[in-house]
A and B are shown apart, each in its own frame.
Chain A
Amino acid sequence: MRVRIAVVVAVVFLAMLKAQPVLAVSMAGPTSATVSGWSLSSSGTSTISGGTLTVSALLSSYTVTVQADKSTMSEFTGGAYVSGGKRLGAALHVITVRTGGSGLSCNGAGQNATVGTGVVTVASGPGGVLCSDIYSVTLSQTTAISDTALVPGHTYHIILTYTLSGGL
């Protein structure tokens, strides 16, 4: 009987070694991601919640990156950017902090990322079995007295793209 069990275990183990590991990642959010009417102070740093980001990674480490469509928040009205419009001097920051999750050794880490049109990492983790990491997202924008106030109906605007990939 022991021999049979040992053989079965060995067979399953060998099969697992040969099988191509099937890795999966999924992402929800950021929830409450729509930010409208963000009132920026004339100088200093303004922050606002960018929602909650939940990542699940099966047998795979993962990386979440963010990139923007503009180097800094730019003048926007009527659903489009203003051609030759004004833009803020400083780049937007996306700050993620792990606030919860589930699974063994699922200890992802958030980061403070300076956003541009190139990708930058905002969160990464080792993943695992039944693993999920929950991050709170905060948007932080520094303004200076040299930044121009906009006419009514115009806002400073930016589009953020979050991308979840398996770890290389």
Chain B
Amino acid sequence: MRREKVILTVLASALLAVPWPVRAQTTGAVGLEITPSQTELDLPGHSYETTLTLFNHDPVTYKVDLSLEALGHDLDGAPEYFPSSVVSNAFSLSATSFSLAQDQKKQILLKGAIPAAAHSIYFGVIAAYARPDQQQGSSVETRTRLGSEFLLRGPKPWTQRLQITDVGVLPGTGRNATLYAIAKNVGNVHVRPTGTVTVSKNGRRIARFAFALNAAHKPGAIIPGFARRLTAVWTPPADLTGTFTVTATTQNPAAAASKTVSFRNGKALAPDAKIVNLSVQNSSGVVVDSQVTNVGTGALTGAKLTFVATQDGRFERGRMVFPIASLAPGATVEKRWSPGPLPDGAYQITATLEQGGTLLDQRVAGVRVGAALTSGARTPLLAIAGVLLALVLAVVLWFLFFRRRDEDREQRAGSRAV
């Protein structure tokens, strides 16, 4: 019995110590598969490397192109990818273009480090793939991509800080209302906050809900610099009328905010409008087009749409505010912004729709101005070139120094002989 216990203990230790192998294939998978689809790690140092696997389940040969892009998300947590020189300088891939026939797999090495000055990095490995007939439509062409997300935090200390920029209620479908808090990550690493939202009247609590999770036991992630809408669905009493206080509280990290909202006969009296389209194009100058639609039941008045151009997600390079005086229910308004000449680089264009202190919607799009900077993938070649140059210089210096010394010796020997 004692020996069995020892064997089990050894087995347990081995299981716990050895990393499990990466799966190469999903049973029931279709098309092109990428593993892992998401990697979230706290690293002991800044360096990191891993292997990604792509597997083709389709009876066609796909041409696959891989790239690295910065990872962000919209208000509802949908992943967004942006061109970023920070990411392409920090990480590299062992291959970026190849073909995969049916049942073939390809393993790719991802290698790099979180920049020394940063505490975290967020990016996606994007696999763009196509079969020949997919890109020949005269009216609509289709491209397909898979994203493998990386959320990497370096060693502590971190700054985990959340700011609740708005709290409120939106009229939902039927008798439902959506209670929400807009939480912005103002720290330097991503967070997954939990929390609650309460509705009260004169200090008496009427309703209390936990914010919805992204998946079972998993709160949604908020990446530094991005905001996310935490929500809870409530069916208010049909006769609910008057003003009420909505309070949102989060944990991990802690934050709180309150706001007064109005109901009439169980319906939230709040504006509801969406940025239904955000398009950024760069052809002889960046042009931003956006459409705003009033999806509420009353007129939208006194709103504003703000565009901000940020280089590499850090440096603001342009801003424009468009007032929207009035917009009837169901109506759409279009706004266009040309930010003028921008320095070469990767840009995020953020569109924010607000009315008073209420954030109604926010969208982000990416665009690159000018040519991409040198990729981190070229760093080894540059290093080899540097070493070769240093060797050549050393040989030249050695040759000059020793030849001169030998000449001097010969000269001195000659003098003595004379």
Q: A residues touching B (Cβ–Cβ < 8 Å)?
A: 4, 7-8, 11-12, 14-15, 18-20, 22-30, 33-38, 50-51, 54-58, 60-63, 65, 67-68, 70-71, 73, 76, 91-92, 102-103, 114-121, 124, 126-127, 130-132, 139, 155-168
> Which B residue's beta carbon lies closest to that of A89?
B334
Residues of the B chain whose Cβ atoms lie less than 8 Å from the Cβ of A73: 139
Contact A76 B221 (CB under 8 A): no
Contact B31 A28 (CB under 8 A): yes
Contact A15 B141 (CB under 8 A): no
The smallest beta-carbon distance between B303 and chain A, in angstroms, is 18
Instruction: Report if A24-B35 is in contact (Cβ < 8 Å); known contacts: A102-B28, A163-B81.
Output: yes
Separation of A132 and B15 alpha carbons in the complex (Å): 30
Residue B65 at the chain A interface, CB threshold 8 Å: no
Instruction: Report if A119-B365 is in contact (Cβ < 8 Å); known contacts: A36-B137, A56-B28, A160-B142.
Output: yes
Residue B164 at the chain A interface, CB threshold 8 Å: no
The smallest beta-carbon distance between B144 and chain A, in angstroms, is 5
9 additional A-B pairs beyond A26-B57, A115-B277, A163-B81, beta carbons within 8 Å, are A14-B12, A19-B20, A20-B20, A22-B22, A27-B31, A33-B140, A62-B37, A127-B215, A157-B140
Separation of A124 and B74 alpha carbons in the complex (Å): 14
Contact B137 A165 (CB under 8 A): no
Q: B residues touching A (Cβ–Cβ < 8 Å)?
A: 4-5, 8, 11-12, 15-16, 19-20, 22-23, 26-39, 41, 55, 57-58, 73-74, 76-81, 124, 126, 128, 133-149, 214-216, 220-221, 223, 276-281, 289-291, 349, 351, 363-365
Contact A22 B35 (CB under 8 A): yes
Contact B19 A71 (CB under 8 A): no
The smallest beta-carbon distance between A27 and chain B, in angstroms, is 5
Residues of the A chain whose Cβ atoms lie less than 8 Å from the Cβ of B137: 33-36
Counting chain A CB atoms within 10 Å of each CB, the highest count among B26, B55, B147, B364 belongs to: B26
Counting chain B CB atoms within 10 Å of each CB, the highest count among A7, A24, A38 belongs to: A24
Residues of the A chain whose Cβ atoms lie less than 8 Å from the Cβ of B23: 22, 24, 58
Closest 3 CB pairs of A and B: A28-B31, A71-B279, A118-B365
The smallest beta-carbon distance between B339 and chain A, in angstroms, is 15
Contact B33 A118 (CB under 8 A): no
The smallest beta-carbon distance between B366 and chain A, in angstroms, is 8
Residues of the A chain whose Cβ atoms lie less than 8 Å from the Cβ of B12: 11, 14-15
Separation of A23 and B281 alpha carbons in the complex (Å): 34
Separation of A139 and B137 alpha carbons in the complex (Å): 14
Residues of the B chain whose Cβ atoms lie less than 8 Å from the Cβ of A156: 139
Contact A167 B291 (CB under 8 A): no
Residues of the B chain whose Cβ atoms lie less than 8 Å from the Cβ of A158: 139-141
Contact A34 B133 (CB under 8 A): yes
Separation of A167 and B280 alpha carbons in the complex (Å): 25
Contact A8 B78 (CB under 8 A): no
Separation of A8 and B141 alpha carbons in the complex (Å): 54
Contact B277 A56 (CB under 8 A): no
Residues of the B chain whose Cβ atoms lie less than 8 Å from the Cβ of A76: 138
Contact B73 A162 (CB under 8 A): no
Contact A118 B276 (CB under 8 A): no
Separation of A37 and B104 alpha carbons in the complex (Å): 35
Q: Can you list 22 contacts pairing A with B, beta carbon distance less than 8 Å?
A: A22-B22, A22-B23, A22-B35, A27-B144, A54-B31, A55-B30, A56-B31, A63-B77, A68-B279, A91-B291, A102-B28, A120-B277, A155-B138, A157-B140, A159-B140, A161-B128, A161-B143, A161-B145, A164-B146, A165-B37, A165-B147, A168-B214
Contact B41 A35 (CB under 8 A): no
Contact B279 A25 (CB under 8 A): no
The smallest beta-carbon distance between A136 and chain B, in angstroms, is 15
The smallest beta-carbon distance between A16 and chain B, in angstroms, is 9
Instruction: Report if A130-B27 is in contact (Cβ < 8 Å); known contacts: A26-B57, A33-B137, A34-B136.
Output: yes
Contact A117 B278 (CB under 8 A): yes
Residues of the B chain whose Cβ atoms lie less than 8 Å from the Cβ of A157: 138-141
Specify which of A25, A62, A92 is in contact with B33 (CB 8 Å cutoff): A25
The smallest beta-carbon distance between B230 and chain A, in angstroms, is 13
Residues of the B chain whose Cβ atoms lie less than 8 Å from the Cβ of A28: 30-32, 57-58
Counting chain B CB atoms within 10 Å of each CB, the highest count among A19, A91, A114, A119 belongs to: A119
Counting chain A CB atoms within 10 Å of each CB, the highest count among B11, B35, B141, B365 belongs to: B141
The smallest beta-carbon distance between A159 and chain B, in angstroms, is 4
Residues of the B chain whose Cβ atoms lie less than 8 Å from the Cβ of A35: 137-140
Separation of A166 and B71 alpha carbons in the complex (Å): 12
Contact A71 B277 (CB under 8 A): yes
